[in-house]
Structure 1
Amino acid sequence: MDWQKNLLLAAMAAVVIMLIMRWDDYQQSLVPTEPVAATSANADSSIPTGVSDNTGDVPSLTPPKGDAVSEQPVASQQAISVVTDSLEVSIDTRGGDITRVALPRHYAHIDTPNQPFVLIHSTAGHTYTVQSGLVGKNGTDSAKGRPTFTTAATQYELQEGQDSLEVDLTLTQNDVTITKRFTFHRGEYRVDVDYLIDNNSAAPWQASLYGQIKRDSHEPNSDTGIGMKPFVGAALTTNDERYKKFDFDDLQDKTFTTKIQGGWVSMVQHYFISAWIPNAESQNNFFLRQQGNNDLYLMGFTSEAVTVAAQSQGEIHSEFYAGPKNTTKLEEISSYLDLTVDYGWLWWLAKPLFAVLDYIHGIIGNWGLAIIAVTIIIKAFFFKLSATSYRSMARMRKLAPKMKELKERYGDDRQKMSQETMKLYKTEKVNPLGGCLPMLVQMPVFLSLYWVLMESVELRHTPFLWIPDLSVKDPIFVLPLLMGFTMWLTMRLSPTPPDPMQAKIMQFMPVVFTAMFLWFPAGLVLYWVTNNTLSFLQQMYITKQIEKEDTVKS
């Protein structure tokens, strides 16, 4: 049974590697982020029309001759504060960019409920901002400058009884009045971003809308445990792939462009995203790229050119989302945007599992109890399959004395040992793989639930019994110790490997896994504790049944 020994040794090596990775990630998180370098001024003409050039912020659309965009004067910028029940937003009057987004319903830390989680902001060492504007023939934005809007007030707040709040920024361009309108909605993380064009001139007005997220490669600190590193980077949907993601290293190699009707582009991190969702009826050019040679990346879109006839009005619509990765809400906003809740290649199993978990939570009202309930349901679903596995393991355990005798007799003759072992299995009607194969069939389901609990923002800052937050480690390590204890109990009912080295490895495994699970999110450890407990009870019940059957036979 050398393959079992090798498999266990490989598992032990993997655990050690993950411990080293965890320590390395922790050390890196202690290093302060370096300030972002200044942007280069050199342009790269290889970027296609409709996509940002290689260094500037503003996408490049080549206007027809004689219609060059006039340079906008740089005026003093001013911050506009917007407060709703779901969002706290700062908007810069220069360009109308969103420079800060805080989420009052999701506080920064469990012990500071008065401090909202800040998703979007820029500091001396970190850049994360959201830009939008008009480019093209009569665009307001160009490589030469950004417009400065005027506004009726600098502070806006959604009042009681209000379902929505409009914030208008206005700009006069010759005889054209342009209003950049942000519409906030009660209970929503989605913001409508519209350009209202009032063309009082004698000529048609034409421009394209662009929206983009500008960010450096800084990765937020994560308490997700050993070897578990959530994805941080850009993602979008294409005609070929519903969900296509790029980490920052990918964008250092090349620029990615695609054209699709509707679509979306997002900046993804653990539990939260920001995303631009342009008009679903428009053919939109999407781009992802590094800005020059700096640690800055742009992910955005440009829409089709919109023409507003002389002496008429027009509108260009888009949406922006900044908030938690809530599957239901993201499904409503745009097709496949919910896939940013990244369950990996097992998403087709994970999504139904989350639906069940969410449904049970709606009934019970407690996420910890919902995790226990879902684990029980899964174990019940696989009860017969697990029973087959445990029955085989129980019979293998009974053969342990005979296997030890064979080891003593033929230990030096591998071929003879193998022959006599197979003969013993045949005589006792035991399948050595009977305990492994049923468990392998169940693994995809349990791995799916594992990733569901890993990705569910609903667990963030959710208490359960003595645990203040199911998304981070148990503060007093009770669950990891229980996990190790239940694992040890289960292994006591398993057959003892004939090889001494293999047996020692098996005895040491609960200790290793307990140490590893000390840093795992409590919700995940709760799942493993429940699963181990149910496995032990089922295995003990089956073992007693077999012993009873053997007593009756004798």
Structure 2
Amino acid sequence: MDWQRYTLMGGIAAVLLALAFQWNAFKEQHTPEVDRETIVHSPGPADSQVAGDNNDSEDSDVPQLQSQAPATTGVDGTERELIQVTTDVFDLLINPRGGDIVKVALRKFEQKQGTPDQPLILLNQTRYHTYIAQSGLIGQNGTDSAAGRPLFKMAKNNYALAEGQEALIVDLTLQQEGANITKRFTFKRGDYLIQVAYLVDNTSDKPWSAAMFGQIKRDSSEPPTDMGFGMSPFLGAALRTPEENYFKQDFEEIAEKPTRETIEGGWVAMVQHYFLSAWIPPQDARNTFELKELSDGLFRMGFTAPQVQIPAATQGELSASFYAGPKDVYRLEKISPYLDLTVDYGWLWWIAKPLFRVLHFIQAHIVSNWGWAIILLTVFIKTLLLPLSAAGTKSMARMRKFAPQMKKLQEQYKDNRQKLAEETMKLYRREKINPMGGCLPILLQMPVFIALYWMLTETVELRHAPWIFWIHDLSAKDPYFILPVLMGASMWFMQKLNPAPADPTQARIMQLMPVMMTIFFLWFPAGLVLYWIANNLITIAQTWYINKQVDAGKI
């Protein structure tokens, strides 16, 4: 009656696959569109409040020092048109009120594949979403205080990086009593790092003193994602602390336990799948970092630098850097120590990071396709682990060869379990079979497999990267579920090359495993499924060869 069981299993698999197609279509039809319209609210009580370094309040919006004095210059009730900045990598909006970055669209990344006219929006302030980058000056001569944010002047409302131009400078100006202040944004071609500097011309006969702050203000909403079922990339804040090079908190953890740290250099970042934004203050100063929930439900992730004093009748500068872009390991390494750890490979990062470098080398120097690079990386890993995997495969092959003798012993001593165990051990010793020989190599390989899983999940280069035929995005699920079905088929065939478990219940569970794994992999990114297929096919070839050698008595 085996044919009935297999027919039933096939019918169940067909129904589940049909349900998967229906769910896929339903999910795509009901995925909300990204709100692209930027709305900047006029400053109200919550917007004009200023946070304290020691006298902070729940309604505060930006940090302040004990010596903070009310800002009286440049603060009024009028609003001006947003400043538009266009470079080869950014479409960006700056609010003259405070000089805050209220929108960042990444021109080299599409919001959805096949929509080149809709770049991915990383930062934005809309009706339903707040994610902005703020910066200002606080302290004795600070421009930002409980009285409000300053309103800067600008020469024009539109700036664009011209062809052949390597850098674009956008200056906002503010006249303060006794000082002329220029807030300067510097954009460089091909770079997602923005330099933000305050150029202060102290025209008074007294020293000018203030500290610079920078912060990311965001709600807790999750960004749109193409990740499949079961995938949950980290979403939240991260920074470097004196105790940890990479300390992270999701929004629930920040709400429960705010964080405040002081460290030389450092950085603070807002991390999401594939992308991040980060403030990097001066690396030669002791900066204070804070992660906190505000009373309006928004979260503040920022830094406050030490105060800078500019003598009378002299000029000075306060500066920091702001990054808004992809999790590019190589670029983040150069910006600040340990900022590259925001590419979160989990606790097996020490394995995943070298694997990424090998994958990147293969794609850059051997093949120009990330799909083929994944396959070649799989071959590379299987070659490194060949001694381990071969030992396990040989052990399984010897057990398969002597399976008939094992079955005969089970039938002969089915009523005497003690005698069966004794005779089984004699057979193992006589034929040099190690029943655990296939387990240890697999256990030793598991850390590599887990590290590779997270490495492929975190690699932004795979986003919207095509392979061949119908696979146009290795970071998204196979739209026709062909790769998961092939993965399940390869797993089923791989099982047939190995001896079946002696326990009938365990054997039936193993028969169902390919079906269950196929269902599980339906929503996995195509790049991960491709890796498993390549791994299974290599294992099948290796197992078939070793089985032949064992059957021929050569091993």
TM-score in terms of structure 1 length? 0.89
2:306 alignment partner in structure 1: 304
Residue pair 1:102, 1:119 contacting (<8 A) in 2 also = yes
2:354 alignment partner in structure 1: 352
1:162 alignment partner in structure 2: 165
Residue pair 1:360, 1:370 contacting (<8 A) in 2 also = yes
2:473 is the alignment partner of 1:472 = no
1:282-293 matches, cutoff 5 A: 282-292=285-295
Residue pair 2:49, 2:148 contacting (<8 A) in 1 also = no
Segments of structure 2 that go 5 or more residues without pairing to the other structure are 1-15
2:232 is the alignment partner of 1:229 = yes
C-alpha distance in structure 1 between counterparts of 2:322 and 2:117, whole Å = 25
Sequence identity percentage? 52
Secondary structure class of the residue paired with 2:122: strand
C-alpha distance in structure 2 between counterparts of 1:249 and 1:43, whole Å = 26
C-alpha distance in structure 2 between counterparts of 1:547 and 1:442, whole Å = 26
Residue pair 2:101, 2:133 contacting (<8 A) in 1 also = yes
2:247 alignment partner in structure 1: 244
Distance 1:69 1:155, change over 3 A: closer
1:4 alignment partner in structure 2: none
Question: Which stretch has the larger CA shift, 376-385 or 327-336?
Answer: 376-385
C-alpha distance in structure 2 between counterparts of 1:344 and 1:385, whole Å = 24
Aligned match for 2:144, one of 138, 141, 148 = 141
Secondary structure class of the residue paired with 2:111: strand
Residue pair 2:363, 2:370 contacting (<8 A) in 1 also = yes
Secondary structure class of the residue paired with 2:125: coil
Segments of structure 1 that go 5 or more residues without pairing to the other structure are 1-15
C-alpha distance in structure 1 between counterparts of 2:45 and 2:77, whole Å = 19
2:492 alignment partner in structure 1: 488
Q: Which amino acid aligns with 2:350?
A: W
1:151 alignment partner in structure 2: 154
**Cα distance, 1:489 vs structure 2:** 1.2
Secondary structure class of the residue paired with 1:434: coil
Residue pair 1:392, 1:435 contacting (<8 A) in 2 also = yes
2:8 alignment partner in structure 1: none
1:361 alignment partner in structure 2: 363
Residue pair 1:265, 1:276 contacting (<8 A) in 2 also = yes
**Cα distance, 1:486 vs structure 2:** 1.0
Residue pair 2:48, 2:145 contacting (<8 A) in 1 also = no
C-alpha distance in structure 1 between counterparts of 2:105 and 2:235, whole Å = 19
Residue pair 1:102, 1:120 contacting (<8 A) in 2 also = yes
2:503 alignment partner in structure 1: 499
**Cα distance, 1:50 vs structure 2:** 6.1
1:329 alignment partner in structure 2: 331
Distance 1:328 1:51, change over 3 A: farther
The C-alpha deviation readout for 1:406-444, integer Å capped at 9, x for no partner, is: 433444555444444333322322111101101111111
Question: Which stretch has the larger CA shift, 510-519 or 440-449?
Answer: 440-449
Aligned match for 2:520, one of 508, 516, 521 = 516
Q: Which amino acid aligns with 1:135?
A: I
Residue pair 2:49, 2:61 contacting (<8 A) in 1 also = no
Bigger relative CO (Cα 8 Å, ≥ 6 apart): 1
Residue pair 1:197, 1:315 contacting (<8 A) in 2 also = yes
Aligned match for 1:194, one of 172, 194, 197 = 197
The C-alpha deviation readout for 1:297-354, integer Å capped at 9, x for no partner, is: 0000000001111100000110000000000000011110100000001111111111
2:124 is the alignment partner of 1:121 = yes
C-alpha distance in structure 2 between counterparts of 1:548 and 1:268, whole Å = 56
The C-alpha deviation readout for 1:468-515, integer Å capped at 9, x for no partner, is: 111101122221111111111111111111111100110110011111
Secondary structure class of the residue paired with 1:109: coil
Distance 1:404 1:295, change over 3 A: farther
Secondary structure class of the residue paired with 2:230: coil
Residue pair 1:52, 1:58 contacting (<8 A) in 2 also = no
Secondary structure class of the residue paired with 1:147: coil
C-alpha distance in structure 1 between counterparts of 2:420 and 2:147, whole Å = 82
C-alpha distance in structure 1 between counterparts of 2:407 and 2:229, whole Å = 37
C-alpha distance in structure 2 between counterparts of 1:491 and 1:304, whole Å = 64
C-alpha distance in structure 2 between counterparts of 1:390 and 1:532, whole Å = 13
C-alpha distance in structure 1 between counterparts of 2:174 and 2:418, whole Å = 87
1:424 alignment partner in structure 2: 427
**Cα distance, 1:156 vs structure 2:** 0.3
Residue pair 1:33, 1:218 contacting (<8 A) in 2 also = no
1:206 alignment partner in structure 2: 209
C-alpha distance in structure 2 between counterparts of 1:230 and 1:143, whole Å = 37
C-alpha distance in structure 1 between counterparts of 2:505 and 2:59, whole Å = 60
**Cα distance, 1:44 vs structure 2:** 12
The C-alpha deviation readout for 1:19-52, integer Å capped at 9, x for no partner, is: 99xx9xx79x9699999x999869999x872696
C-alpha distance in structure 1 between counterparts of 2:437 and 2:77, whole Å = 75
Question: Which stretch has the larger CA shift, 49-58 or 377-386?
Answer: 49-58
Q: Which amino acid aligns with 1:482?
A: L
* Aligned residue pairs, count: 524
2:449 alignment partner in structure 1: 446
Distance 1:33 1:319, change over 3 A: closer
Distance 1:52 1:59, change over 3 A: farther
C-alpha distance in structure 2 between counterparts of 1:413 and 1:543, whole Å = 32
Query: Over the residues paired in the alignment, what is the CA RMSD in angstroms?
Result: 2.7
Distance 1:315 1:496, change over 3 A: same
C-alpha distance in structure 2 between counterparts of 1:490 and 1:210, whole Å = 59
Q: Which amino acid aligns with 2:502?
A: P
C-alpha distance in structure 1 between counterparts of 2:496 and 2:56, whole Å = 62
C-alpha distance in structure 1 between counterparts of 2:339 and 2:444, whole Å = 30
Q: Which amino acid aligns with 1:299?
A: M
C-alpha distance in structure 1 between counterparts of 2:353 and 2:56, whole Å = 36
Secondary structure class of the residue paired with 1:281: coil
C-alpha distance in structure 1 between counterparts of 2:228 and 2:421, whole Å = 41
2:86 is the alignment partner of 1:80 = no
Residue pair 1:98, 1:130 contacting (<8 A) in 2 also = yes
**Cα distance, 1:252 vs structure 2:** 1.1
1:356-435 matches, cutoff 5 A: 356-363=358-365, 364-411=367-414, 413-435=416-438
2:544 is the alignment partner of 1:540 = yes
Question: Which stretch has the larger CA shift, 409-418 or 358-367?
Answer: 409-418
C-alpha distance in structure 2 between counterparts of 1:410 and 1:313, whole Å = 95
